[in-house]
Chains A and B, each alone.
Chain A
Amino acid sequence: MRYSGLKVITEGLFGNKGWTRAWRDPAPKAEYDAIIIGGGGHGLATAYYLAKNHGLTNIAVLEKGYLGSGNIGRNTTIVRANYFIPGNSEFYSHSLKLWEGLETELNYNVMHSQRGQVVLFHSDGQRDQQIRRANAIVNQGDDAEIMSVEQLRAEFPYLDYEQTRFPIYGGMMQRRAGTARHDAVAWGYARGADQRGVDLIQNCEVTGIDVENGVVRGVQTTRGPIRAKKVAMIAAGRSGQVAAMAGMRIPVESHIMQAFVTEGLKPVMDAVISYGMGHFYISQSDKGGLVFGGDIDMYASYAARGNLPMVEHVMEAGMTLMPMIGRAKVLRSWGGIMDMTPDGSPIIDKTPIEGLFIDAGWNYGGFKAVPASGWCMAHLMATGQSHEVARRFRLDRFRTGHLLDEEGTGSQHNLH
């Protein structure tokens, strides 16, 4: 079924009885050409582009819970392309372009809103660094502008510019950055993949990966064994455990990250604000809630809930940035499991096992990456070659020393 404004109106007039399920609920077949482990944003996008760009439709996405139950439905939905180093810069640039056409592409309202994101700076050194970053972004072909305090005050009058600890010196604005509805991104890709014949199999946990003589043969699941010549591990926070099923040890440590949303408010802020010194970022959802988050809790964890010191830290940061937030009531908080790598950048690569691929290590920045990750992973799986914009996301770069340390914070997993 094609969705359209007219369809919404006619269905509204006739009791909304004509809507059908957005995707099928098939039983797993005994064999597929390719299997994707993980029905999050990246797994679903990979399935979609395998079908759409490469005509591979005899594929299955295996998801242990329900589609979108992982980080794709837990993030703070910031979409931007303001990366600096070669390798990241062109990849996120590609992703943002895919975002800009995504709703038409998927015939699905993912509520992509290019409301702009401003990254604040608080010292002369940070200003220099942001100007340099802005130049790199412009050279990449994307947009960035440096805003003075006066310009910021006009647009964001509610920030505390004179706070004693981190007075605001200015900001780097990317107007094409913004937010999207996270669940809708998973649903849109799921529906598009299903329409092209991909089997989306939920409540199907992969419990083993079958490897014979260095070649992948298929997987064991809670719904029985399934054979395939190509298997992709796209399990985000669970990547280490899935890779271990194939006997692999990967450069990922899983950490918990929390986010928060307040009760719905009237429109108060119309852009995303990132306050790096406070490890704090905030936007307002279309429903009115202020959506904000901070850093990871800093220790390895698989508990999808965090600890109180980080809650306190995030609230304090919010208060120092925009004191008005103190009047809002927090409605909910939650956590997601992040696949942290030693350089903060992801992996889209083959593995030493023939036919086994990996797409992982998205740290806390993998939402914006969903379209390009799916695009490049599908390219890799279909052609056997890395896509041009993802060719530096190699699994072996840590051993060979070709790290992509965007923030320059060193090789400790939790520092990115």
Chain B
Amino acid sequence: MRLTCPLCGPRDRREFYYSGSEDYLNRPTPDARPEAWDDMLHLRDNPAGVTKDLWYHETGCGSWLLVTRSTTTHEILATERVADRKGAGA
């Protein structure tokens, strides 16, 4: 399996650290109810098919990537840097 890093190009899966679903990007505000934290940290749609998850280019450029891929075929459909997303860092 290879992931295409927008900065480094196609790289071997072993260069990346998988953290989990894109839910981690929806960080609740500090005053949010426990349910919101439960949603982000624990509960998952866990689809059999297309999913989006977070990978860290650990032995490459150090970018966090949002990867669109299939959990049934392991096909990588798209990759983008989390930092490049609209509204990121705001």
Could you tell me which A residues sit within 8 Å of B by CB distance? 238, 240-241, 244, 249-254, 298-303, 307, 309, 342, 398-401, 411-414
Contact = CB atoms under 8 A, between A and B. Distances in A.
Contacts of B4: none
Given A253-B21, A254-B46, A307 B1 contact: yes
A300 to B, nearest CB: 5
A97 to B, nearest CB: 32
Interface of B: 1, 12-14, 18-21, 34-35, 38-39, 41-48, 51, 53, 55, 71-74
B interface, over-half SS: mixed
B74 A414 contact: no
A319 B14 CA distance: 20
B20 A414 contact: yes
A385 to B, nearest CB: 25
Contacts of B46: 240-241, 250, 252-254, 300
A411 B42 contact: yes
A341 B59 CA distance: 27
Contacts of A241: 46-48
Contacts of A240: 44-46
Contact of B18 (A251, A252, A401, A414): A414
Contact of B20 (A238, A401, A412): A412
13 contacts: A240-B44, A240-B46, A249-B43, A250-B43, A251-B42, A253-B20, A253-B21, A254-B46, A299-B18, A302-B72, A309-B12, A399-B38, A412-B20
B71 A301 contact: yes
A244 B42 contact: no
Contact of B44 (A238, A249, A301, A302): A249
A199 to B, nearest CB: 27
B71 A254 contact: yes
B72 A413 contact: no
Contacts of B13: 307, 309
Contacts of B1: 307
Given A300-B53, A303-B73, A412 B19 contact: yes
Contacts of B55: 299
Contacts of A399: 34-35, 38, 42
B32 to A, nearest CB: 12
B44 A413 contact: yes
A298 B18 CA distance: 7
B11 to A, nearest CB: 12
B43 to A, nearest CB: 5
Contacts of B34: 399-401
B48 A302 contact: yes
A347 to B, nearest CB: 11
Contacts of A309: 12-14
